[in-house]
């Protein structure tokens, strides 16, 4: 399945990427190849297949793995901000955004 | 609303579920802690960290869903909602999309229009459809008013707080309907104890989708979504503003643009967020780090059986069983603890009307002036019930009862104890009352003469004097009768 230049541009925008014209060309080919590869899965009949095959057994309430509602120690502000590029006043400082 | 127009409103309510820890990690959900203190690799979105679902979130979500008449899906799927924002560290929010936790609900909520002063007109019950309620995580908080004004500051303590997003059908035709519905949701969630309902702290947030159309038109108009509505009053005002804005725009030949708008309370206006709408492509896909959420039907029934009586049902029962007015029943069922208290007073006193009067006027006034709520009341329900009994069996007068009540508020003592200690038992001994009456009449010859000359309104004066002479303890009814007999008999 071919991927158009416009589609590449849209995906780049959604991913916050700036691409050169050469990159757009090469990614359009590469994305098409990836999708073709994945498309092979369509040959398999998955109508009877569950989205998730692995189950934890013996739990009447919720079959998924869950945890109890117990608060555990957190990292703390200092460690949480340790790798932040621009921390200030105990917060992650970022370019100004408006709204919420 | 302007003649010839109709508003169509849908609401999305985000209710924070009242858990101790976050939805996918053990960090505390406490409000107001040091910024970024309650964070860990999972809610910071660090690479390799994996989410594990908090089971209480599922329990609370199930209680809320059932209380709102929703059907719980035996299997629901978590999905990633992808977008970039500084307060969303992973670059996606774990939410639910095409297979939500619950669907197809509805509530019957009391609603009314209000006049300019905000006074209710006529209450009626209206059916509001609820499309779905799904489980998701909250984002962090962006702060714009500290430090460098050219920057934003991100606090991730809220990141990963469990939310239930409750999406309504577009069933609202006025801002007051929206106001009453959200108030109803809030009371219900508080009642069953799954959300504290604190809108100021953001525990309950609301977005409104608003569009207008000409009366009779079938097609919906283009809608605008208003965000940032953190009080019921803001919600109501923002919707009214938006309705007027859209009508004026269309009548002037313009067109409503589908967009997100923000309510600015200070200016009482909504503003366009001017975001690039085409960027709103969330590319939902199933969350590979979380298995589908399976819920057993028997478990759902256990949750249903464990739900308390809901406020609306209780309100109707209070009207039917206790003969209360709609307004009184509304107030008394507004808070679960208050309704429980009232019923305990009814049980102890055997008088539902008197219990309502005492709770609604005396007790609530005291609590309000003391700045406490019913759970902090020093006056125990059994004691208030006993006080009502003391009035009914004429041990004390209604007037003395108010003094006793004031003592109960101050000391928390039982009314019988206060009455005994202070010697407040009502004088019902007719002989004793006659004696006081005779003394009072003898001491007020001028008034007696005037009464006999036809100024019968002076009876009140005499009653007052007798009550005063008895220290307020004489039975007022007996005083009245004896006084009348004396005043009139001696006049002849």
| B106-139 pLDDT per residue, tens | 999 989 999 888 888 888 889 999 999 999 999 9
Cβ separation of B146 and A89 shorter than 8 Å? yes
Within a domain: residue A30?
yes
Cα diameter, chain B? 103
The minimum CA-CA distance between A85 and chain B, rounded to whole Å, is 13
For chain A, helix, strand, coil in percent to 5 are 35, 10, 55
Domain presence at residue A18: yes
Which structural domain, as residue segments, surrounds residue A15? Answer: 5-42
Q: Does A98 touch chain B (CB under 8 A)?
A: yes
Task: Give the span between the Cα atoms of B220 and B173, in whole angstroms.
Answer: 12
Contact B54/B162 with Cβ under 8 angstroms? yes
A68: which chain B residues are within 8 Å (Cβ-Cβ)? 54-56
Q: What is the reported pLDDT for A58? A: 44
Tens digit of pLDDT for each residue in B387-422?
898 888 877 778 888 888 888 888 888 888 887 777
What is the pLDDT confidence band of residue B492, given thresholds at 50, 70 and 90?
very low
Positive or negative CA dihedral for B188, B189, B191, B196?
A: negative
Asked whether residue A67 is domain-assigned, the answer is no
Instruction: Express each pLDDT in B132-184 by its tens digit.
Output: 999 999 999 999 888 888 899 999 999 999 999 999 999 999 999 999 999 99
In a domain, A49, yes or no: no
Helix ranges (H only) for B358-458 are 364-370, 381-392, 398-411, 415-422, 430-443, 445-452
Residue A100 clears pLDDT 50, i.e. is over it: no
Q: Which CATH number fits the domain B430-491, given the four candidates 3.40.50.720, 1.10.10.410, 3.40.50.1820, 3.40.50.11260?
A: 1.10.10.410
Domain ranges for chain B, please list them. 5-299, 309-422, 430-491
Residue position matching structure tokens 């991730």: B156
Report if residue A16 sits inside a domain. yes
What ipTM was predicted for this assembly? 0.82
How many helices (H) and strands (E) are present in chain B, helices listed first?
17, 17
CA pair distance A8, A31, nearest whole angstrom: 8
Q: With 80 as the cut, is the pLDDT of residue B57 above it?
A: yes
Nearby residues of A15 by Cβ (< 8 Å), 6 or more positions away:
none
| Strand ranges in B25-123 using DSSP code E only, listed in sequence order | 53-54, 71-72, 75-76, 78-82, 92-96, 102-111
Interval B241-277: pLDDT, tens: 999 999 999 999 989 988 889 898 888 888 887 655 5
In angstroms, the CA B200 to CA B185 distance is 16
For A83, the 3-state DSSP assignment is coil
Residue B99 has phi, psi (to 5 degrees) of -130, 80
Binning chain B into helix, strand and coil, the percentages to the nearest 5 are 40, 20, 35
Q: What's the pLDDT score for residue B23? A: 97
Considering CB atoms only, which of A55, A71, A100 is closest to B28? Answer: A71
pLDDT (tens digit per residue) in B360-374 = 988 988 888 888 888
Q: How many folded domains does chain A comprise?
A: 1
User: A79 pLDDT exceeds 80?
Assistant: yes
Structure tokens at B170: 């577009």
Cβ burial of B51 (10 Å; 0-12, 13-18, 19+) is buried
Nearest 5°: phi and psi at B65? -60, -45
- CA B283 from chain centre, in angstroms, equals 37
**pLDDT for position B121:** 86
Give the mean pLDDT of chain B.
89
Residues of B with Cβ-Cβ distance to A61 under 8 angstroms: 55, 58, 295-296, 299
End-to-end CA distance of chain A: 38
The pLDDT, as a whole number, for residue B280 is 67
Taking the CA of residue B53 and the nearest CA in chain A, the distance in Å comes to 5
| Rounded distance between C-alpha atoms, residue B379 and residue B368, angstroms | 14
- Whether residues A96 and B35 touch (CB distance < 8 A) is answered with no
Residues of B with Cβ-Cβ distance to A85 under 8 angstroms: none
Q: How far apart are CA A66 and CA A47, in angstroms?
A: 28
Residue at A34 is within a domain: yes
Cα separation, A85 vs B301, whole angstroms: 50
Instruction: State the Cα–Cα distance between residues B392 and B398, nearest whole angstrom.
Output: 9
Torsion sign over Cα A51, A55, A61, A67: negative
Better pLDDT: B202 or B164: B164
Separation CA B238–CA B224 (nearest Å): 12
Chain A residues lying within 8 Å of B44, measured CB to CB: 75, 80
- For residue A19, give the 3-state DSSP assignment: coil
Q: How confident is the model at residue B236 (pLDDT cuts 50, 70, 90)?
A: very high
- Write out the two tokens for A69: 């509602």
pLDDT band at B305 (very low <50, low <70, confident <90, very high): very high
Task: CATH number of the domain at A20, please.
Answer: 1.10.20.60
A57 touches chain B (CB under 8 A): no
Task: Give the SS3 label for residue B3.
Answer: coil
The 10s digit of each residue's pLDDT in B7-42 is 999 999 999 999 999 999 999 999 889 999 999 999
């Amino acid at each position: 399945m071919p991927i158009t230049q416009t589609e590449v541009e849209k995906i780049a925008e959604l991913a916050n990427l700036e691409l050169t014209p050469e990159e757009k060309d090469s990614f359009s080919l590469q994305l098409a190849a990836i999708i073709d590869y994945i498309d092979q899965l369509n040959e398999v009949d998955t109508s009877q297949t569950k989205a998730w095959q692995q189950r934890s057994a013996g739990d009447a309430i919720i079959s998924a793995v869950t945890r109890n509602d117990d608060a555990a120690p957190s990292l703390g502000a200092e460690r949480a901000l340790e790798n932040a590029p621009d921390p200030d006043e105990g917060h992650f400082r970022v370019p100004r955004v408006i709204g919420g | 609303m302007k003649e010839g127009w109709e508003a169509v409103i849908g609401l999305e309510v985000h209710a924070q579920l009242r858990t101790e820890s976050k939805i996918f990690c053990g960090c505390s959900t406490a409000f107001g802690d040091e910024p970024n203190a309650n964070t860990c690799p999972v809610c910071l979105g660090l690479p390799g960290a994996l989410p594990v679902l908090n089971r209480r979130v599922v329990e609370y979500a199930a209680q809320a869903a059932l209380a709102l008449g929703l059907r719980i899906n035996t299997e629901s799927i978590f999905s990633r909602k992808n977008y970039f924002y500084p307060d969303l560290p992973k670059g996606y929010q774990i939410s639910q999309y095409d297979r939500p936790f619950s669907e197809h609900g509805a509530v019957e909520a009391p609603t009314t229009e209000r006049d300019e002063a905000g006074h209710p007109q006529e209450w009626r019950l209206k059916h509001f459809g609820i499309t779905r309620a799904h489980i998701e995580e909250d984002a962090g908080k962006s702060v714009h008013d500290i430090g460098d004004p050219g920057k934003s500051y991100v606090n991730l303590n809220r990141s990963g707080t469990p939310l239930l997003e409750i999406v309504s059908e577009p069933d609202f035709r006025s801002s007051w309907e929206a106001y009453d519905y959200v108030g109803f949701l809030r009371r219900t969630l508080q009642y069953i104890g799954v959300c504290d309902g604190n809108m100021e702290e953001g525990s309950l947030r609301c977005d409104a989708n608003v569009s207008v159309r000409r009366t009779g038109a079938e097609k919906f108009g283009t809608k605008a979504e208003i965000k940032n509505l953190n009080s019921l009053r803001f919600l109501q005002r923002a919707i009214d503003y938006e309705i007027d804005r859209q009508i004026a725009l269309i009548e002037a030949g313009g067109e409503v643009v589908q967009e997100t708008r923000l309510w600015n309370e200070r200016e009482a206006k909504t503003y366009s967020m001017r975001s690039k709408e085409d960027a709103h492509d969330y590319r939902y896909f199933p969350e590979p780090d979380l298995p589908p959420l399976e819920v057993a039907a028997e478990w759902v029934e256990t949750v249903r059986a464990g739900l308390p009586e809901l406020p609306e049902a209780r309100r109707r029962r209070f009207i039917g069983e206790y003969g209360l007015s709609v307004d009184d029943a509304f107030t008394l069922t507004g808070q679960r603890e208050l309704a429980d208290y009232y019923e305990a007073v009814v049980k102890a006193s055997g008088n539902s009307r008197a219990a309502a009067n005492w709770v609604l006027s005396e007790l609530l006034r005291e609590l309000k002036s003391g700045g406490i709520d019913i759970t902090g009341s020093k006056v125990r329900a059994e004691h208030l019930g006993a006080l009502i009994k003391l009035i009914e069996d004429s041990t004390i007068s209604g007037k003395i009862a108010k003094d006793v009540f004031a003592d109960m508020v101050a000391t928390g003592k039982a009314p019988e104890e206060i009455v005994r200690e202070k010697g407040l038992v009502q004088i019902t001994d007719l002989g004793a009352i006659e004696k006081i009456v005779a003394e009072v009449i003898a001491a007020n010859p001028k008034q007696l003469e005037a009464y006999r000359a036809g100024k019968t309104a002076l009876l009140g004066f005499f009653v007052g004097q007798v009550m005063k002479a008895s220290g307020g303890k004489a039975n007022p009814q007996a005083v009245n009768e004896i006084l009348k007999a004396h005043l009139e008999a001696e006049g002849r």
